[in-house]
Protein backbone atom coordinates (compact mmCIF):
# COMPACT_ATOMS: atom_id res chain seq x y z
CA UNK A 1 0.00 0.00 0.00
CA UNK A 2 2.80 2.41 0.89
CA UNK A 3 4.56 1.64 -2.41
CA UNK A 4 1.40 2.54 -4.37
CA UNK A 5 1.21 5.88 -2.56
CA UNK A 6 4.85 6.61 -3.36
CA UNK A 7 4.28 5.76 -7.04
CA UNK A 8 1.12 7.90 -7.14
CA UNK A 9 2.96 10.81 -5.53
CA UNK A 10 5.83 10.46 -8.02
CA UNK A 11 3.39 10.49 -10.93
CA UNK A 12 1.66 13.59 -9.57
CA UNK A 13 4.99 15.37 -9.08
CA UNK A 14 6.10 14.40 -12.61
CA UNK A 15 2.84 15.67 -14.13
CA UNK A 16 3.10 18.89 -12.15
CA UNK A 17 6.67 19.44 -13.35
CA UNK A 18 5.63 18.71 -16.94
CA UNK A 19 2.83 21.26 -16.71
CA UNK A 20 5.09 23.81 -15.01
CA UNK A 21 7.75 23.61 -17.72
CA UNK A 22 5.41 23.15 -20.67
CA UNK A 23 5.25 26.07 -23.09
CA UNK A 24 2.09 28.17 -22.87
CA UNK A 25 -0.72 27.39 -25.27
CA UNK A 26 -0.98 29.72 -28.22
CA UNK A 27 -4.69 29.73 -29.17
CA UNK A 28 -4.15 32.43 -31.78
CA UNK A 29 -1.45 30.54 -33.70
CA UNK A 30 -2.48 29.96 -37.30
CA UNK A 31 -0.92 28.19 -40.22
CA UNK A 32 -1.97 29.51 -43.60
CA UNK A 33 -1.15 28.51 -47.15
CA UNK A 34 -2.19 30.43 -50.21
CA UNK A 35 -2.07 29.54 -53.89
CA UNK A 36 -3.50 31.00 -57.07
CA UNK A 37 -5.50 28.60 -59.24
CA UNK A 38 -5.93 29.86 -62.78
CA UNK A 39 -9.37 28.35 -63.26
CA UNK A 40 -12.94 29.61 -62.81
CA UNK A 41 -14.29 29.14 -59.26
CA UNK A 42 -17.00 26.67 -60.38
CA UNK A 43 -14.42 24.44 -62.08
CA UNK A 44 -12.26 24.42 -58.92
CA UNK A 45 -15.31 23.70 -56.74
CA UNK A 46 -16.37 20.82 -58.98
CA UNK A 47 -12.86 19.36 -58.83
CA UNK A 48 -12.48 19.49 -55.05
CA UNK A 49 -16.00 18.20 -54.41
CA UNK A 50 -15.64 15.20 -56.72
CA UNK A 51 -14.67 12.24 -54.49
CA UNK A 52 -12.69 10.51 -57.26
CA UNK A 53 -10.21 13.41 -57.14
CA UNK A 54 -9.70 13.39 -53.36
CA UNK A 55 -6.79 10.89 -53.27
CA UNK A 56 -4.93 13.18 -55.71
CA UNK A 57 -4.86 16.19 -53.41
CA UNK A 58 -5.97 15.23 -49.88
CA UNK A 59 -3.34 13.23 -47.95
CA UNK A 60 -5.77 11.29 -45.75
CA UNK A 61 -8.03 10.21 -48.63
CA UNK A 62 -6.38 6.95 -49.61
CA UNK A 63 -9.37 5.57 -51.50
CA UNK A 64 -13.00 6.37 -52.21
CA UNK A 65 -15.94 4.16 -53.15
CA UNK A 66 -19.41 4.51 -54.53
CA UNK A 67 -20.56 7.20 -56.94
CA UNK A 68 -17.31 9.14 -57.09
CA UNK A 69 -17.39 10.49 -60.65
CA UNK A 70 -19.40 13.69 -60.04
CA UNK A 71 -19.28 16.70 -57.71
CA UNK A 72 -21.20 16.36 -54.45
CA UNK A 73 -24.23 18.56 -53.90
CA UNK A 74 -25.21 20.51 -50.82
CA UNK A 75 -27.01 18.42 -48.22
Task: Inform me whether the pLDDT recorded for 44 exceeds 90.
Answer: yes
pLDDT at 51 over 90: yes
Structural domain contains residue 3: no
Query: How many folded domains does the chain comprise?
Result: 1
In a domain, 10, yes or no: no
The pLDDT value recorded for residue 43 is 94
Rounded to whole angstroms, the Cα distance separating 11 from 13 reads 5
Q: Is residue 59 part of a domain?
A: yes
Query: 52-64 pLDDT, tens per residue?
Result: 999 988 888 888 8
Do residues 45 and 74 make contact, with C-beta atoms less than 8 angstroms apart? Answer: no
Q: Name the more confident of 35 and 30.
A: 35
Whole-angstrom distance, CA of residue 45 vs CA of residue 75: 15
User: What residue numbers bound the domain in which 47 lies?
Assistant: 37-75
pLDDT given at position 42? 93
Q: Is residue 52 part of a domain?
A: yes
- Which residues are CB-neighbours of 62 under 8 A, at least 6 positions away? 55
Residue 11 lies in a domain: no
pLDDT the model gives residue 19: 80
Residue 54 falls inside a structural domain? yes
The reply to whether 13 falls in a domain is no
In a domain, 66, yes or no: yes
Amino acid sequence: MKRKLVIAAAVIVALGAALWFAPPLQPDTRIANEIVIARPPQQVYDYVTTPANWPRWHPSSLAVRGATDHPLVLG
